[in-house]
Amino acid sequence: MLKGRHAEYLDFIRLTMVEDQVVRRGVKDARVLAALRKVKRHLFVPAGLVSTAYDDHPLPIDCGQTISQPYIVGLMSELLCLKGGEKVLEIGTGCGYQTAVLAELAAEVYTVEFFAGLSRQAAEKTAKLGYTNIRFKTGDGAAGWAENGPYDAIIVTCAPATVPPALTAQLKPGGRLAIPLGPEPQELKLFTKTAAGLDERNVCAVRFVPMLRAKD
């Protein structure tokens, strides 16, 4: 009975999180909000941090990485303008929470993680939750995942100094790239690929872990 009450409490605070942290800050995409209400963030954080899973800040996970602040997950997901039929590339799988949100929003999700252990854990968690539209790879995120491109949208959850050329090459014309750039605090930018190149939009200041490269 206690477990049932605890699950009900977590459901309540997840819904409250969406309203207080995401909707009130201006995220309006109904599909994104529905995904955030559905995906149980507490299943993706370390066991000792479950009680803070829906707090308004990032949390540490294994390998010195983090799970992003709920609002940032919502904001970056909304920036991609996903309608349901897209192929999306994620750079920085982490614990798999953003991955699961993307799986709710797109037809196919390809996700690349630098740390093999994190990739394996995320694959196990999302499989247990019934997601069948996610493919996982361990490797250098700056190289993307060319064999499955081009992609309708790319989301990067770690911060390189500049946009990796491989990612823009793997983006379809009209595709959108959401990426934090520069030293901390970074600038979250949205790029849209056009016939003339990349249209750039500054979104907001953010804090992400740096992008790791194979040589690091």
Containing domain of residue 78, as a range?
2-206
Domain-located, residue 214: no
- Number of structural domains found in the chain: 1
Candidate list 51, 68, 77, 119, residue with the active-site label? 68
Q: What is the pLDDT of residue 1?
A: 35
CB 74 within 8 A of CB 47: no
CB 149 within 8 A of CB 86: no
Residue 21: CATH number of its domain: 3.40.50.150
Whether the model pTM is above 0.85:
yes
Q: What is the pLDDT of residue 215?
A: 63
Percent of the chain residues past pLDDT 90, beyond the cut: 92
Domain-located, residue 213: no
Q: How far is CA 164 from CA 85, 119, 158, in A?
A: 25, 21, 12
d(CA 179, CA 68): 13
Domain-located, residue 212: no
Mean pLDDT score, 95-119 = 98
Q: Specify whether 51 is catalytic.
A: no
